[in-house]
Structure 1
Amino acid sequence: MEYLLKLLLCLICVVTNARTMSINGSALMRYDPCGLGVLYFDKVTDRLWLGVMNFDLYSNLANVEAEMSFGHEVSVFSDKNLAVFNNNSNKNRYKFIANISNVKKITFYVGLINNNNNDNSSNLPLVTEFQLNNITLCNSDIKTSMAVENLNVTENEVDDYHHLCGRKSLDHTELLSVRTEARAGDFPWHVAIFIMDFNTADEEYYCGGNIISRTAILTAGHCMRKGGKNIETNRIKIVAGVSDRDDLYQVGRQVQIAEEAILHPSYTDKLATADLAVIKVNRLEYTKYVQPICLWGPVYNKQKLFGIQAIVVGFGQTETNQPSKVLRSTYTVIQNDTTCLDFSANIYQELLNEFTFCAGYGPNSNINPRNGDSGGGLVLGVLQPDHRISLFLRGVLSKCGVSPRHTDCDPTFYVVYTDVSPYYGWVYHHSGLKFTVNIPS
């Protein structure tokens, strides 16, 4: 009987363009000292954090000796794979020793000791210095260098302008909350796309998009279509630098009217393959609220993505089926194609191929993008030679499933992304980008 019900459900499911975010559960807070790839802390309670040292990114390490200084006194509790020593009676500096030949991720707990400080840093396991095998990866000087001005790697404004992609200023790099409403600057590459009606002077929020250069936004191809027709370019309005898309006075807000909208030549309304468009604008100013995302490619193999956690953001419908004017974010997991096909071959058979992939936590999570999130990006963190993480755009949200339970995107279904990597050359050609190494010179 259960099989028949599921079969019946799938037979009457349809696919729609995933046009905000359905989120269940409490917010998740992560602290990344200096934006490092090897060390982060997840909040457990107000006074307890789970520390993680992830050495998957360092394949040549076998033995680890790390030293960590905190901005205030803490208590550290280790697991069986990690020896912890306290060399300071004030309990603000610890040494960690571990053999990681058989395990690449070690965890420990940090308890915050009550103190008289009233600043927000007293609620964090604030790391003031971190050394790994006698190499300093984080300290006050490194944090000072993470000002937004240092993302510009040219001394003067020149025609050949160089800027670091996938990086944020310090106050938005170290502390990030997901599964909740975002602050302006937390996801500075994400924009809101509006469609203007010149007859009524109204504006309709339509899709999300991703800043990939000072003059180009990458979004879904279907976001440039309405009623089976291309939308007139001068009706497309881009709002960048905001967490509240309707706040006309939010600090950091920038508005651009599209100068050109370029659909990928292989785009079709029905499929997720090549569901991409580049919107050309006059010129965005890079600030702490507006920053470009790195573009993944040109080498790609989506099988290496399966099981990886990624971040998605959007302004679309919430779990209450109401539109959200505030940007929301969540983690998602990239799934093997067979997972989505087993859930509903009727929906995903036609959508999944070497140029697309599906993501989501599954039918019991109710955590997913929804209507209004189309064109938004699926973003992955990649370790760079300076030991910090840069954020890369790997997918653009294309399709979702609609069941009889919902009139719009059903948050219990997996969603399908267009993989941007196969189209790397096409995107670069239309965005004015030039390839450079993504670290400061």
Structure 2
Amino acid sequence: MLSFLLISFAMLWEVNSMALKGPALTRYDPCGLGLLHFDRISENNWRGVLHFGLYANLVEAVIEMEFKEETIISAHQTPYNITAKRTSQKDLIIHVMAPIPNTYTFFVTLKHFNANESDVPVVNQLMMNKVALCNEQIKAAQTITSLNVSEKYAGRHAHICGRRSIDHEELVSVRTEAKPGDWPWHVAIFVRDANNVLKYECGGNIVSSTAIVTAGHCVYKNGFKIGANRLVIVAGSSSHKDINHVGRQVLNAQEVILHPAFNINFSTADLAVIRVNTLRFTEYVQPICVWGPVYDKTKLFGSEATVVGFGSTEFNKQSDVLRSTYIMVQNDTTCVSFSPKVYGYLLNEFTFCAGYGPTSSINPRNGDSGGGLVVPAMQYDHKISWFLRGVLSKCGVSAGHKDCDPRYYVVYTDVGPHYSWIYHHAGLEFRSNVVTTH
């Protein structure tokens, strides 16, 4: 058995990012809703999932869908309290009665599909109990301009966080190269060396128009905090070396704020805020919401989240292209059982571990440090907002190697316990799903 130790991502200069074995996974969220999503199983074969569990005290639901194209609908089985019927080959009505299940799954294919066409089962209209949740008018209203809500907050620049333009809100693929605007809050952090050459160091997360949240060790070298004059932020780019990339913004750091409880050997407070002046929110640059102030990491256990990063591919070919993947948040006991000496040392109420275990090759690697573990949460308007829940802190390295081993679990600093500290230093005010800067 290989011996195992944990080291900080920042101690390595090589950039080896996502290990993403397997085909790309594509998800379609009509209007960015929390209620319904479709996962592509294979070409022209989609799994639809209705998430009734997101609605508390729901006793009955009638879901009416209208697809853009004629479809074929099937289900493995339909419980006695759920009926599904069709009034046309474009329509589907699902009636659910108590006891309401957490989810209901069905399968969709396009009836007339040509290989040179999109196989996405586009939903033109979705209603729940006669309330329109998605239609062409709602989609048209989901613009970047609509996310700017400054007029509601006198003297403040206010922007809805955790949202993307509709082009990227509805259809996104993981385990593949990201399109510009897919993950608009992720940035690349560069450090100037002694020869004034910029070298990629870490990822980071936009939380306001003037602040980036990253890992503390990303801005800490040889026992000292890196000066702001040495840091450069590249935002809005899914290829950070492409200087002509659409949506690209380059900013010099103005201030580096290291968490006062930061310790290079632990993940408890492995956080830093980099202040900049000033990000423009566009289709390609958007802020993510920060999880908190209430938090309970045990509710994360067993759930899938999304992680994003730059670097080389799983074939160790150098790449500067942004990639993403799903990752499983594990119960602390799973990771401690794997290596009591290591994970018992790092895991506490301020940290959590994630990964698919020793049989997997899907995980972040060196260079992904400082990037976020992000989770979706349904809001009052039935749509999903993305929240920063964890910042990548430490990885596992097997004996005789220097790179993070994707078979092992990684450790994240939980941002929930540090919510107030992040808000204070990012120049934010607490609002419901709104970023408000001074």
The answer, yes or no, to whether TM exceeds 0.5 is: yes
User: 1:240: which partner in 2?
Assistant: 235
Do structure 1's residue 36 and structure 2's residue 30 form an aligned pair?
Answer: no
Deviations 1:63-109 (A, max 9, x none): 32111001111111123234321112xx1111112335152111000
User: 2:192: which partner in 1?
Assistant: 196
Residues 404 and 320 of structure 1: CA distance in aligned 2, closer, same or farther (over 3 Å): farther
Secondary structure at the residue paired with 1:408? coil
Deviations 1:192-245 (A, max 9, x none): 000123x53421100000000000000000000123332121110000000001
User: 2:51: which partner in 1?
Assistant: 54
Deviations 1:156-196 (A, max 9, x none): 99641111000001000000101111011000000000012
Deviations 1:104-142 (A, max 9, x none): 111000111225797x6x421000000111111101111
User: 1:340: which partner in 2?
Assistant: 335
User: 2:5: which partner in 1?
Assistant: 13
Match of residue 313, structure 1, among 283, 288, 308: 308
One-letter code aligned to 1:176: V
Match of residue 364, structure 2, among 347, 369, 383: 369
How far apart in 2 are the matches of 1:335 and 1:151?
A: 34
| Superposition deviation, residue 322 in structure 1 | 4.0
Alignment of 1:60-209 (within 5 A): 60-78=57-75, 79-81=77-79, 82-88=82-88, 91-99=89-97, 101=99, 103-114=101-112, 122-155=118-151, 159-197=155-193, 199-209=194-204
| Contact 1:193-1:206 at 8 Å conserved across structures | yes
User: 2:271: which partner in 1?
Assistant: 276
| Contact 1:146-1:169 at 8 Å conserved across structures | yes
User: 1:402: which partner in 2?
Assistant: 397
Secondary structure at the residue paired with 2:160? coil
One-letter code aligned to 1:17: F
User: 2:419: which partner in 1?
Assistant: 424
| Contact 1:385-1:439 at 8 Å conserved across structures | no
RMSD between aligned residues: 1.9
| Contact 2:210-2:278 at 8 Å conserved across structures | yes
Secondary structure at the residue paired with 1:287? coil
One-letter code aligned to 1:360: G
| Superposition deviation, residue 16 in structure 1 | 3.0
| Contact 1:16-1:402 at 8 Å conserved across structures | no
Deviations 1:325-369 (A, max 9, x none): 000000011111000001111221111000000011111111000
| TM-score when normalising by structure 1 | 0.93
**Structure 1 consecutive aligned stretches of length 4 or more whose deviation exceeds 6 Å:** none
Do structure 1's residue 327 and structure 2's residue 330 form an aligned pair?
Answer: no
| Superposition deviation, residue 434 in structure 1 | 1.1
Secondary structure at the residue paired with 1:303? helix
Of the structure 1 ranges 174-183 and 311-320, higher mean CA displacement relative to structure 2 is found in: 311-320
- Structure 1: state its 5+ residue gaps: none
One-letter code aligned to 1:28: L
How far apart in 2 are the matches of 1:115 and 1:350?
A: 54
| Superposition deviation, residue 264 in structure 1 | 0.3
- Structure 2: state its 5+ residue gaps: none
| Contact 1:56-1:104 at 8 Å conserved across structures | yes
| Contact 2:8-2:217 at 8 Å conserved across structures | no
How far apart in 2 are the matches of 1:303 and 1:296?
A: 14
Of the structure 1 ranges 56-65 and 340-349, higher mean CA displacement relative to structure 2 is found in: 56-65
| Superposition deviation, residue 406 in structure 1 | 3.4
Secondary structure at the residue paired with 2:270? coil
How far apart in 1 are the matches of 2:53 and 2:64?
A: 19
Do structure 1's residue 26 and structure 2's residue 23 form an aligned pair?
Answer: yes
Residues 106 and 258 of structure 1: CA distance in aligned 2, closer, same or farther (over 3 Å): same
One-letter code aligned to 2:324: S
How far apart in 2 are the matches of 1:31 and 1:422?
A: 32
| TM-score when normalising by structure 2 | 0.94
How far apart in 2 are the matches of 1:16 and 1:203?
A: 21
How far apart in 2 are the matches of 1:339 and 1:209?
A: 28
One-letter code aligned to 1:134: K
| Superposition deviation, residue 267 in structure 1 | 0.2
| Contact 1:360-1:368 at 8 Å conserved across structures | yes
| Contact 2:113-2:119 at 8 Å conserved across structures | no
How far apart in 1 are the matches of 2:231 and 2:6?
A: 28
Of the structure 1 ranges 47-56 and 223-232, higher mean CA displacement relative to structure 2 is found in: 223-232
How far apart in 1 are the matches of 2:332 and 2:100?
A: 30
User: 2:257: which partner in 1?
Assistant: 262
| Contact 2:60-2:100 at 8 Å conserved across structures | no
One-letter code aligned to 1:148: I
Deviations 1:358-398 (A, max 9, x none): 01111111100000000000001111010011100010000
Matched length:
427
| Superposition deviation, residue 32 in structure 1 | 0.1
Name the % identity.
53
| Contact 1:16-1:401 at 8 Å conserved across structures | no
| Contact 1:316-1:369 at 8 Å conserved across structures | no
